[in-house]
């Protein structure tokens, strides 16, 4: 059996009942890496011998936890004591942390096998580092969690970690046709994860589907309520969904707009109670507010890089960071005030809806590897601090996924994941019928 093709949820059951050994599963993932990595370029570092040794140890021990034997790709901005963490930048070449990031240490305790470090754009910002979209090698996988989305989509790992400050988990996952999850702000601990913009930085997750990502999230956060219910009747219950075109709608292309409208009709026909939601006027300013916040905090967080290592970071990142120095403290505080105001309004905007459905990108993944895509469909929802989960809503002119995202209230992640699972199942069923 080609275990690398199975969802992590299904592989976990086999690993738990010992019908599949951890060594066999890790070897299958490494074989897949050997087959696809030369063209996809998802990894900055592969922990081949260390992961096989860890798998053999697990096979000799009692089941350690829910992640026993499952493989993990770690975005190269998470500290790892046994692998370098370089942030995709010459400024940190050869950097070796002495301890794990908090979420990585948690996952090790539950039996996860750290297969390697996945490629990030430079310091989790914009300059790309050569990863290609495994669905179409001529297109970007998105950023900044480029390697994580590509590794999961290419079936190299069970799961991968990501981060999101603008759209760095949701957009690449959407471009690569897998599930990205940006949890509520601070649901996942950020200790040991390199900072970009503190008030927006969120630890993200990438997996094959919503069931997998909920399973992964429950272990990362040590929060069992995030796992989807075992009772099929609870999962089959149709949610109430808000369809929202957002104030950034004009940035989407024709294919994305068609996929959004078709998805709305599909979900309604499948039994969802669908509401048309229009965001209040105040939300018009959130895209610019997010840009202001990120630029200001990035220039503050990268102050030492600017002072001592500016010659080692690429010009595009240097220019963006220097631009942040032009943002005044007053502008920053005004942007944060608007963000807090809109967060307070959002539960009333949702009303009786379990979640909103909005575009996750402006269209399908752009051609080329030098540009990781437009972040405008993600920035507002990152600033809002609530959960977001990507699902595929259609396919574009190049045959690549057109991603939507299911967005929820702050700290209402369990309900949002459940709604996203329902949306994912029904949209996948529709797309399967269209392709058959």
Report the C-alpha dihedral over residues 193, 179, 278, 263, rounded to 10 degrees: 170
Residues 90, 313 contacting (CB under 8 angstroms): yes
Q: Which residues of 129-156 are buried (b: 16+ CB within 10 A; e: fewer)?
A: bebbbbbbeebbbbbbbbbbbbbbbbbb
CA gyration radius for the chain?
20
Which residue stretches of 41-111 are H helix?
Answer: 48-60, 102-109
Residues 392, 435 contacting (CB under 8 angstroms): no
Residue 274, CB-side half-sphere exposure with 13 Å CA sphere: 19
Residues 296, 327 contacting (CB under 8 angstroms): yes
151 Cβ contact partners less than 8 Å away, ≥ 6 residues apart: 40, 42, 43, 73, 118, 157, 160
Tell me the residue length of the chain. Answer: 436
Annotated catalytic, 263? no
Which one of the listed residues 51, 89, 117, 144 is annotated catalytic? 144
Residues 260, 375 contacting (CB under 8 angstroms): no
CA 73-420-271 angle, to 5 degrees, is 155
Token pair, residue 35, equals: 């087959």
Which one of the listed residues 145, 148, 168, 372 is annotated catalytic? 168
CA distance 245 to 374: 16
Handedness of CA 71, 209, 374, 395 (dihedral sign): positive
**Which residues, in sequence order, are bridge partners of residue 426?**
none
Annotated catalytic, 390? no
Which one of the listed residues 75, 117, 182, 418 is annotated catalytic? 75
Peptide bond connecting 144 to the previous residue in cis, omega within 30 degrees of 0: yes
Annotated catalytic, 75? yes
Q: Please state the φ and ψ torsions of residue 39, each to the nearest 5 degrees.
A: -100, -30
CA distance 2 to 225: 31
Residues noted as catalytic: 75, 144, 168
């Amino acid at each position: 059996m080609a275990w690398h093709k199975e969802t992590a949820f299904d592989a976990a059951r086999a690993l738990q009942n010992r019908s599949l050994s951890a060594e066999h599963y890790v070897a299958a993932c490494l074989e897949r890496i050997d087959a696809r990595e030369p063209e996809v370029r998802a990894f900055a570092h592969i922990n081949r011998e260390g992961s096989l040794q860890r798998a053999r140890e697990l096979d000799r021990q009692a089941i350690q936890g829910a992640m026993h034997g499952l493989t993990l790709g770690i975005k190269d901005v998470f500290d790892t004591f046994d692998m370098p963490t370089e942030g995709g930048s010459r400024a940190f070449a050869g950097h070796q942390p002495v301890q794990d990031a908090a979420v990585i240490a948690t996952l090790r305790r539950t039996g996860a096998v750290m297969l390697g470090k996945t490629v990030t754009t430079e310091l989790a910002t914009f300059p790309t580092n050569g990863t290609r979209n495994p669905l179409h090698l001529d297109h970007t996988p998105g950023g900044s969690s480029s390697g994580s989305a590509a590794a999961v989509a290419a079936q190299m790992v069970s799961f991968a970690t990501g981060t999101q400050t603008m759209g760095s988990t949701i957009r690449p996952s959407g471009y690569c046709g897998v599930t990205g999850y940006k949890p509520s702000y601070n649901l996942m601990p950020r200790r040991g994860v390199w900072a970009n913009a503190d008030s927006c930085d969120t630890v993200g997750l990438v997996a094959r589907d919503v069931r997998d990502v909920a399973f992964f999230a429950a272990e990362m956060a040590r929060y069992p309520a995030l796992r989807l219910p075992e009772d099929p009747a609870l999962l089959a219950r149709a949610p109430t969904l808000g369809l929202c075109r957002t104030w950034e709608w004009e940035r989407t292309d024709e294919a994305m707009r068609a996929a959004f409208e078709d998805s709305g009709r599909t979900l309604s026909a499948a039994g969802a109670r669908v509401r048309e939601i229009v965001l209040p006027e105040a939300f018009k300013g959130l895209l610019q507010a997010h840009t202001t916040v990120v630029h200001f905090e990035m220039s503050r967080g990268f102050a030492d890089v600017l002072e001592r290592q500016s010659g080692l970071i690429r010009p595009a990142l240097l220019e963006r960071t220097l631009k942040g120095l032009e943002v005044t403290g007053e502008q920053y505080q005004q942007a944060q005030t608007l963000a807090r105001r809109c967060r307070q309004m959002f539960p009333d905007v949702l009303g009786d809806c379990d979640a909103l459905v909005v575009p996750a990108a402006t269209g399908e993944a752009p051609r080329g590897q030098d540009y990781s895509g437009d972040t405008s469909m993600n920035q507002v929802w990152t600033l809002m601090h609530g959960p977001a989960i990507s699902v595929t809503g259609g396919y574009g002119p190049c045959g690549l996924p057109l991603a939507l995202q299911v967005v929820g209230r702050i700290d209402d992640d369990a309900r949002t994941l459940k709604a996203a699972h329902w949306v994912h199942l029904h949209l996948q069923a529709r797309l399967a019928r269209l392709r058959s």
